[in-house]
């Protein structure tokens, strides 16, 4: 790949040139790769790193002041950084960077990001997002300091996206078939959600790839950092993911915010609303008959134990059949079976069920919002 560095970000440009000339990046790995999002490198600890070694915290021992201004089109070079309250001025890592892959955006999605104050897009920028793609969720949060001018296809290869062309010849006749192949992210993707009441580890399901990939993208971009659980009902569920909840005033009505898009439903009988289930919130059937999910809002089930008669009633009402394992989980752990087949379940809390109980026990107001905010400090991919 050949990369052109921007003159408009002189601190980042000079630092990157210095590190390149010193050979700092030689033999380092791309240690974080997420298809349709980005490829990240520049951690000096990745040189010769053993398989399974946790990477992403290394650097040269200094940071760079933010020079934020350019959008995250496909092929842009941007500086990684720490997120959340530990880095309010958005200073960049001294060495870690990422190259954007992203995906094509729609006007509706761009309008959503613009409404959230991410960026005011001109026509040329909109057209670029709609043709080559990118990750507008990161705009105004990270410093973009260059772009790939030759070798965009290398980003796709590293990210696991390939265009395969098959040419069949017989005499003078030639038949060509071309297909795009995307290698899925690793199975058993784990997300850590750190809250003011403790940490939960969540496994995302591969059987719900649209929801899995969207949640990964939002978590990695810092979308959920500093949001609150704005709707908490003990014995039912805890809900978060509304971007309007960041810094929301007491008594502010919440629950309608999002990234400007919805996700097609991925409802399956395999996964149910047992305690710890991660599910996508959505608008009701009257305005949303296809049961499309919110682009960002989610809930985690607490629920209550259910007896066999209740489960049999749900099976008959919904035309489903619970496995013996799911029945056992409903009768011992509990859950909310009346939500099954109505909302997309796309993950499960594997560690931290007690944190759900702590959050659910919060004293709430008339709108079910905790009187003392329960914040998501950080949500990140850990595997």
pLDDT tens readout for residues 316-360 = 999 999 999 999 999 999 999 999 999 999 999 999 999 999 999
Pairing of strands 277-280, 376-381: unpaired
List all residues 6 or more positions away from 193 whose beta carbon is below 8 Å from its beta carbon: 199, 200, 201, 202, 224, 376, 378, 379
Per-residue pLDDT band for 181 (boundaries 50, 70, 90) equals: very low
Mean of pLDDT over the chain = 90
Worst-scoring range by mean pLDDT, 157-161, 245-249, 355-359? Answer: 157-161
Instruction: Taking residues 34-49, report their average pLDDT.
Output: 91
Per-residue pLDDT band for 185 (boundaries 50, 70, 90) equals: very low
Q: What percent of the chain has pLDDT over 90?
A: 75
Worst-scoring range by mean pLDDT, 34-43, 193-202, 280-289, 308-317? Answer: 34-43
Residue 29 pLDDT: 92
List all residues 6 or more positions away from 246 whose beta carbon is below 8 Å from its beta carbon: 226, 227, 228
Residue 170 pLDDT: 58
Cα angle, residue 169 at apex, residues 168 and 173 outer, rounded to 5°? 120
pLDDT tens readout for residues 1-10 = 999 999 999 9
Write out the two tokens for 335: 């859950």
Residue 19 pLDDT: 95
Residue 175 pLDDT: 66
Domain 2-159 belongs to what topology?
A: Cyclophilin (2.40.100)
Instruction: Taking residues 292-315, report their average pLDDT.
Output: 96
Per-residue pLDDT band for 116 (boundaries 50, 70, 90) equals: confident
Per-residue pLDDT band for 101 (boundaries 50, 70, 90) equals: very high
Instruction: Taking residues 159-171, report their average pLDDT.
Output: 59
Q: Decide if pLDDT at 161 tops 70.
A: no
Q: Decide if pLDDT at 162 tops 70.
A: no
Cα four-point dihedral sign 324, 326, 329, 335: negative
DSSP-based helix, strand, coil % in the chain, nearest 5: 25, 30, 50
* Top CATH class, 189-381: mainly beta
The domain limits of the chain are: 2-159, 189-381
Residue 165 pLDDT: 54
């Amino acid at each position: 790949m050949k990369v052109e560095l921007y003159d408009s970000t002189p601190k980042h440009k000079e630092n990157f040139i210095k590190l390149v000339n010193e050979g700092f990046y030689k033999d380092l790995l791309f240690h974080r790769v997420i298809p349709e999002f980005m490829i990240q490198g520049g951690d000096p600890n990745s040189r010769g790193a053993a398989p399974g070694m946790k990477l992403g915290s290394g650097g040269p021992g200094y940071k760079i002041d933010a020079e934020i201004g350019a959008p995250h089109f496909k092929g842009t070079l941007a500086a990684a950084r720490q997120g959340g309250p530990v880095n309010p001025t958005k200073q960049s890592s001294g060495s870690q960077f990422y190259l954007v892959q992203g995906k094509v955006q729609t006007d509706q999605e761009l309008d959503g990001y613009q409404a959230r104050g991410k960026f005011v897009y001109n026509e040329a920028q909109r057209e670029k997002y709609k043709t080559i793609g990118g990750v507008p969720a990161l705009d105004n949060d990270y410093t973009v300091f260059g772009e790939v001018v030759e070798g965009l296809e290398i980003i796709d290869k590293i990210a696991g996206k390939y265009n395969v062309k098959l040419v069949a010849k017989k005499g003078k006749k030639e038949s060509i078939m071309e297909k795009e192949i995307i290698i899925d992210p690793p199975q058993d993707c784990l997300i850590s959600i750190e809250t003011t009441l403790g940490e939960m580890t969540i496994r995302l399901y591969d059987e719900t790839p649209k929801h899995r990939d969207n949640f990964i993208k939002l978590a990695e971009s810092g979308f959920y950092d500093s949001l609150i659980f704005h709707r908490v009902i003990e014995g039912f569920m805890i809900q978060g993911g509304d971007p309007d909840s960041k810094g929301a005033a007491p008594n502010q009505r919440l629950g309608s915010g999002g990234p400007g898009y919805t996700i097609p439903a991925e409802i399956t009988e395999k996964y149910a609303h047992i305690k710890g289930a991660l599910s996508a919130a959505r608008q009701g059937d009257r305005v949303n008959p296809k049961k499309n999910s919110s682009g960002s809002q989610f809930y985690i089930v607490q629920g209550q134990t259910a007896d066999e008669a209740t489960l049999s009633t749900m099976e008959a009402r919904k035309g489903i059949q619970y496995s013996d394992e799911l029945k056992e989980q409903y009768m011992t752990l509990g859950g909310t079976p009346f939500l099954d087949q109505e909302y997309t379940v796309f993950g499960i809390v594997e560690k931290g069920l007690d944190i759900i109980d702590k959050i659910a026990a919060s004293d709430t107001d008339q709108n079910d919002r905790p009187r003392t905010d329960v914040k998501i400090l950080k949500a990140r991919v850990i595997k």
